Amino acid sequence: MRKAQKKQTDELLELLSKIHKGVRQMIQTGKKADAMDLLGQCQSAAIDLGETIEQTEGEGFTTVTCLEEYCEAVYQIYEKLRQGQSVQSEKAYKYLRKALQKVKNSVNNDIKVRTEVVFLPYKASMWDSLESVWKAADEDPNCDAYVIPIPYYDRNPDGSFREEHYEGDLYPEYVPVTGYQDYDFAEHSPDMIFIHNPYDECNYVTSVHPFFYSKNLKQYTDKLVYIPYFILGEVNPEDTNAVKGMEHFCTTPGVIYADQVIVQSENMRKVYVNVMTEFAEKSGMPEMDRKYWERKILGLGSPKVDKVLNTRKEDLTIPEEWLRIIEKPDGSWKKVIFYNTTVTALLQYGEQYLEKMKDVFRVFYENREDVALLWRPHPLMEATVGSMRPELWDAYRRIVEEYREAGWGIYDDSVELDRAVVMSDAYYGDGSSVVQLCLDTKKITMIQNIVLEN
């Protein structure tokens, strides 16, 4: 039985207890018709409850038998009143109370409460930010965990929605996927919902379907939990300038509307608390004081780190076309460099950034006998160029096509970020959440300088 159903069951049993008192009073005052009406209500409620329990626990469940005995007790008193027989109010009350108590005991002792948890990833490549939490829920015998990939849209330059994307077929085989159209949120009313997209309508590049905005999801669950899909470079919570630079990550709808926010570290928790306390004060929300944010935000770590640390190089599945690039003639591996390009850098530097990419590819091409380049652009790179820098679209696509057609380097647009991190010897590229992952796994990490020297 679900937690919400258990709560409703307990409330119904308490209501029946109150009705019993009404029955006693009606009998005492000689209002037999009213007493019979109340007993009829008890009978109907018990039958409905029995049907609900049979649906959740199975036919012939112990509690259902107790309810049948309770219904028999109600019926006996009802029949005596109907036939005009003498009924002692106190005796009838104790008889009903005893039968109902047996039902309550069975509900509390025999029915196991199950928790229903829903995970709502949108891009399969970001599933690693939720996976370890899902695994824990999935392994709990008293938990029903649903993974429900949700649709998202690229945006046009004017903010309107472009094509719809759905990546439900890109998740690992061991992850059972439920279609978003097959799950009725109002009917299920899950105990917890986990999200990793905090932006709602505020993302200029993409948007999940508006139904899945955090402010809307709140109405369907007791606990909405936000876990960022990214990892940030650690900063000192006392460093005012550094904290200032973090504001746009913190002041998102997901952080505001979620009941719980889980971030990568205790220091990051302090940053979020500092930023959101000030934000709430400036926004005229005095009820969201520092204590409120301290309760709401937890620094429990990131599932992204869990995923990478739990992935072993020898367990990776490396595509054959990648191995042709990585392996030397003697079968040993070249050094693999993970080259990461980000949306933020592209937006900041524009054409200059594209020239930098060409230069990087030239250098690695010249050293291709000793080093294998694994280029993994940000999953939203193409959508960002199309939406916010359409004038760069043709030039960017030419770079991608020429790199892929040349075949001397790896182009990784898969959903498996952890594979790229684990199989690489070093990181080179823009500052991003991937940097922190590489640092956590003791990888050599180098940040590229976009400005080319003459």
Q: pLDDT value at position 287?
A: 92
Q: pLDDT value at position 157?
A: 85
Amino acid in the structure at residue 433: S
Q: How far is CA 216 from the centre of its chain?
A: 14
Q: How far is CA 41 from the centre of its chain?
A: 42
Amino acid in the structure at residue 339: Y
Neighbours of 434 (CB within 10 A): 25
Q: Does residue 14 sit in the same domain as residue 103?
A: yes
Structure tokens at 335: 């050094």
DSSP letters for 301-366? --HHHHHHHT--GGG----HHHHHHHB-TTSPBPEEEEEEE-HHHHHHHTHHHHHHHHHHHHHHHH
335: in domain: yes
3-state secondary structure of 256: helix
Q: 323: domain range?
A: 313-447
Q: pLDDT value at position 452?
A: 61
Q: Which residue has the tokens 């990793």?
A: 196
Distance of alpha carbon 313 from alpha carbon 15, whole angstroms:
59
454: in domain: no
Nearest Cα neighbor of 322 from 314, 334, 310, 312 is 334
Q: Does residue 106 sit in the same domain as residue 209?
A: no
Distance of alpha carbon 274 from alpha carbon 244, whole angstroms:
10
Nearest Cα neighbor of 434 from 230, 275, 280, 272 is 230
**pLDDT tens column, 83-121:** 999 999 999 999 999 999 999 999 999 999 999 999 999
Q: pLDDT value at position 247?
A: 92
Consecutive sets of 10 residues in the chain, 454 residues long: mean pLDDT of each? Answer: 88 96 96 96 96 91 96 96 94 97 96 94 94 95 96 91 94 96 95 96 93 97 95 87 90 97 95 95 92 96 89 91 95 96 92 95 96 94 87 94 96 92 95 87 92 62
Q: pLDDT value at position 199?
A: 95
Phi, psi of 196 (to 5 degrees): -125, 0
Q: Does residue 155 sit in the same domain as residue 230?
A: yes
In the chain, the number of structural domains is: 3
Q: pLDDT value at position 178?
A: 98
Distance of alpha carbon 73 from alpha carbon 93, whole angstroms:
11
3-state secondary structure of 115: strand
Q: Does residue 331 sit in the same domain as residue 244?
A: no
3-state secondary structure of 86: coil
Q: Does residue 119 sit in the same domain as residue 105?
A: no
Among 110, 133, 155, residue at a domain's last position: 110
Q: Does residue 436 sit in the same domain as residue 329?
A: yes
Q: Does residue 227 sit in the same domain as residue 327?
A: no
Among 278, 306, 334, residue at a domain's last position: 306
Q: pLDDT value at position 436?
A: 86
Q: pLDDT value at position 30?
A: 93
